A and B are shown apart, each in its own frame.
Chain A
Amino acid sequence: MDIEQIWFALVAFFFIGYFVLDGFDFGVGMALPLLGRDDTDRRVMINTIGPVWDLNETWVIVAGAVLFAAFPEWYASLFSGFYLPLLLILLALILRGVSFEYRHQRKHPEWAARFDLMIIIGSFLPAFLWGVAFANIVRGVPMDADHQVSISLFGLLNPYGLLGGATMVLLCLVHGMIFIALKTEGEIRVRARSMVLRFMVPTIAVAATFLLWTVAMHVEVAHLGWIIALAGLAASSLVAAGLFSLGGREGFAFFAMALSIASAVATLFVSLFPNVMPSTTTPEGTLTIINASSSEYTLGVMLWVALITTPLVIGYQAWTYWVFRRRLGRDHILAATH
């Protein structure tokens, strides 16, 4: 395996980590109006992700930095080419992040409601736009021989892109509600479970369409088998998450859902390979893992850094989830208020 291939896999790994982890944060945010009957409910929901949303969001910073270091051309073309959607993602993440901190600072219902709205928008927009962006990377964008992308925001909102966005939103929403069912107790847990089941069928339908479309776009690719296998894994683990939820096995449902998101994102990365950003206009504009990558030295030394740090990162983050493993309920919120 060439070092460029290893780094392609590592970039995929960090983006998968981001979507699996911040995915349920987005879902919890989007579910606020669906599951929260009153302020206490909403506080229960927000506090389930309280200790972890920040470290989950850090995954996108690391994914971006790893992309920058390993594939500077890809990073440069992607980030400048998708300027406006990334701007919207940034603004949404800013509003969501500060809203978590600000909403409880005053005991005024209107104050909290305003920040709830920002959490909802700030969770929906990034999920949707990341879905749109990744679908468009797979689909290819107009790019000249110097790898300069020229596509408008509306150009990105093509049917496949929109379907990618819808898939990501629904996957995150279900993921978030399964997480709430796993992390809460009492009525809200019951509500979350039934809401998961209600959303399961449309989610399976939308995600399956998107995955089939992705497979159909790549029928001539040599490693089609891998794409089909991963898409199949994504779809079947999604169904499994639904069945586990039905059976009240929340832990299993959560891991099945995480696997579904991970394999859906992996499907996209494997579809791309060995390109990283295909050009729809100029064939020589297409960025591949070779012409987009850093030098052998950089990839080599950074591989050591990644190999040393990543297991530690996974270790102490897993420990964090262990420390905060207990379920939260309304009683905890009410006890903390007095």
Chain B
Amino acid sequence: MLLRWECMEEFFDPLALARWQFGLTTLYHFIFVPLTIGMALMAAIMQTAWFRTKDLKYLRLTRLFGKIFLINFAMGVVTGIVQEFQFGMNWSEYSRFVGDVFGAPLAIEGLAAFFLEATFIGLWIFGWDKLPRLAHLLCIWMVFFASAMSAYFILAANAFMQNPVGYTMNAERGRAELTSLWEVLSNPVVLAAFPHTILAAIMFAATVMIAVAAWHLRRNQHLETMRTALKAGLWTNVLAFMGVGLSGDQLSLAMVDAQPMKMAAAEGLYETTSAASFSIFTLGTPDGASELFSIRIPHLLSLLSTHTLDGEVEGINNLQAQYVTQFGPGDYSPIIWITYWAFRWMIGLGAFSALISLLMLWLTRKNAPQRSALVQDRLWRVLIWTAPLPMAASLVGWIFTEMGRQPWIVFGLMKTEAAVSPNVAGWQVAVSLAAFTAIYGILAVVEFKLIVKAAQEGPPEITQGDGEDAEPDSLAIVY
């Protein structure tokens, strides 16, 4: 009996379950966040185009992507509450330890950004015929602005976990305390992570827009509006990817500075090396300790880490030895195969998506040679099925960022294992993990079907005069 109980205890390990729960709910939340941010921008640009040109095709597109935005945003809100509550529910020791520092950006996010976003979303969705056109247009811009600001504060909070700054240790109370809010908000990690994340979010919204356009163009319908949407989406995706790359480069530098172990783990570089090469692909033993085959680009890792061809990149073994003297005995490296592959998939998926868009821009250029119907059909299908690539890249990017920080929850200050709530039993976390997994799973299916349905219905027919003297209130009935 005792033995069985111990087995159960091990199975219901609160730490492991809480980590799985945080990982799953965060990744799930982050499917909706980028779509909210990116779609708000797309809708804002379309509505601005309509406002300026009075061309109804832009209004139709605004309405269509506004509808997709609406289906998506409720999920973003409700899954976001889970994120905030989870710090206290599952990570109470973490909350006690860093609440003084970490709570500040979260509270600012709520007070300054989240309220703004929630209010103006309501005004935009329900206010079509209730507000003057310019005021209504400003509402969607406000939504984008607020959601981007919201992202900034959350990323600043996360940046503190990667690179703690602006704090002091209070030994008496055993916690970190804020000494400079400015330093926390201007953490070099957040300065690079913010454009990186926002532009990746815009890529995702762009590929969704491309996919919707491709679906209709493949069926030869809504040609005028959808050609516009396609062009806008393709250009946005390519341009945003360039920004993602540049900011990613800055983020690498900040990361090498703050968390050299993460960069070493991204390459699986065990020994400190000058003029380090970067492997695109490696076949090795499962533990990553020895390699059988790899494709390598010389000097690239040094270039990424130091912006010089022959710069020195610290290796996992050297850093491990250094951390043992600094923090005491323990294993200070993350799970190498996860960081190694997550880093590559992040870059690869994002780049592949941008490449497809670039190719399509060339293929759909003016006076492009006529293609056979079959080839054209295939091209549309490629665009439809590659829509999730930027989202997948963002998700593995987060897996890299967070797994690469392990075993720390706050780098150098607190280990993840010390952060979990001691008074929440394993079975309770198992119950919540099961509940979230089940509900999130079902909702994902419903959500996906509804978005696909809305996208396939296409832009609404709008005749001249609608939106100006449409039947009073009819546009305000949304539910």
* Chains A and B bind each other: yes
Do the beta carbons of A80 and B110 come within 8 Å of each other? Answer: no
Residues from 418 to 440 in B contacting A, C-beta threshold 8 Å? 421-424, 428, 431-432, 435-436, 439
Task: Count B interface residues, CB 8 Å.
Answer: 78
Chain B residues near A317 (CB, 8 Å)? Answer: 115, 119
| B100 CB within 8 Å of chain A | yes
The segment out of A30-38, A82-90, A163-171, A250-258 that lies at the interface is: A82-90
| 21 pairs from A and B in contact (CB 8 Å cutoff) | A46-B479, A52-B122, A54-B77, A57-B118, A65-B107, A66-B107, A68-B87, A68-B88, A69-B106, A73-B96, A79-B95, A83-B424, A83-B428, A87-B89, A93-B78, A98-B443, A98-B447, A101-B70, A316-B119, A320-B122, A332-B476
| B84 CB within 8 Å of chain A | yes
Chain B residues near A301 (CB, 8 Å)? Answer: 104, 178, 181
Main secondary structure of the interface of A (DSSP, over half): helix
Closest 5 CB pairs of A and B: A72-B99, A79-B88, A69-B103, A336-B477, A62-B110
Do the beta carbons of B104 and A69 come within 8 Å of each other? Answer: yes
Query: Chain A, 137-164, contact with B by CB distance < 8 Å: what is the 0/1 string?
Result: 0000000000011100000000000000
Chain A residues near B436 (CB, 8 Å)? Answer: 91
Closest to A153 in B: B428
The segment out of B125-133, B214-222, B349-357, B362-370 that lies at the interface is: B125-133
| A15 CB within 8 Å of chain B | no
Do the beta carbons of B88 and A80 come within 8 Å of each other? Answer: yes
- Report which B residues bind A (CB closer than 8 A): 70-71, 73-75, 77-82, 84-85, 87-90, 92-93, 95-96, 98-104, 106-112, 114-116, 118-123, 125-127, 130-131, 170, 175, 177-179, 181, 421-424, 428, 431-432, 435-436, 439, 443, 446-447, 450, 453, 471, 473-479
Q: A328 vs B71: C-alpha distance in the bound complex, in angstroms? A: 23
Distance from A62 Cβ to chain B, minimum over Cβ atoms (Å): 4
Do the beta carbons of A98 and B107 come within 8 Å of each other? Answer: no
Q: A335 vs B129: C-alpha distance in the bound complex, in angstroms? A: 14
Closest to B90 in A: A80
Contact of B178 among A105, A295, A305, A332 (CB under 8 A): A295
Closest to B181 in A: A301
Distance from B393 Cβ to chain A, minimum over Cβ atoms (Å): 26
| A324 CB within 8 Å of chain B | yes
Do the beta carbons of B71 and A101 come within 8 Å of each other? Answer: yes
Do the beta carbons of B111 and A50 come within 8 Å of each other? Answer: no
Q: A47 vs B70: C-alpha distance in the bound complex, in angstroms? A: 15
Given the interface pairs A54-B77, A298-B100, the reply to whether A103 lies near B84 with Cβ below 8 Å is no
